[in-house]
Amino acid sequence: MINLIIREILNDYVAFINDFKHQFSPNMEEFEQRSSRNRSGNIGEFKYQFHGAGCRLEKDAIVCEFDYMPTNEYPIKFSIWKINEFILTNNTYSINKLELSELYEALHPLVENGTLVKLVLDHVVWEVYQI
């Protein structure tokens, strides 16, 4: 089931994050500066908390965790756990339980075709996806 809707989920995930980013600050430089000063709060319908390179968003009971690291052309980074949290708290998909291995199997072809890119730091490939 997850294989059929994984692209839709990723589109929704990125749109959710971008909606927050545009409300927080439409300018990327300003976003970076404001996120280092305003570590938690509310903006619009979003509740947010920055923690290290990570950010936790909540809106309408949907939890969206992501890492924001503008170290390359892929500023949004996430782990399997983070996208799983988004899926399970989002009623749109009607998924109550999802094995992480099943999610990994759905994401793997997207890495192979270049839709997603794994994070590489110091020649180490991490189980972190970038989009």
Q: 103 pLDDT exceeds 90?
A: yes
DSSP result, 72-131? SS--EEE-HHHHHHHHHH-GGG--S---HHHHHHHHHHHHHTTSSEEEEETTEEEEEEE-
pLDDT for res 68: 79
Nearest-angstrom CA–CA distance, 122 and 64: 28
pLDDT for res 107: 97
Please count the structural domains in the chain: 1
Nearest-angstrom CA–CA distance, 100 and 94: 17
pLDDT for res 24: 82
pLDDT for res 50: 87
Pick the range with the lowest mean pLDDT from 27-31, 61-65, 73-77, 104-108: 27-31
The three-class DSSP label of residue 81 is helix
1 vs 109, higher pLDDT: 109
pLDDT for res 4: 87
Residue 124 structural domain: 2-130
Nearest-angstrom CA–CA distance, 108 and 94: 22
Q: Which residue has the tokens 């976003």?
A: 31
Does an H or E element contain 120, and which?
Answer: strand 117-121
pLDDT for res 5: 95
| Segment 55-98, tens digit of pLDDT | 999 999 999 999 977 667 888 999 999 999 999 999 999 998 99
pLDDT band at 36 (very low <50, low <70, confident <90, very high): low
Q: 20 pLDDT exceeds 70?
A: yes
Q: 37 pLDDT exceeds 80?
A: no
Q: How far apart are the first and last CA of the chain?
A: 22
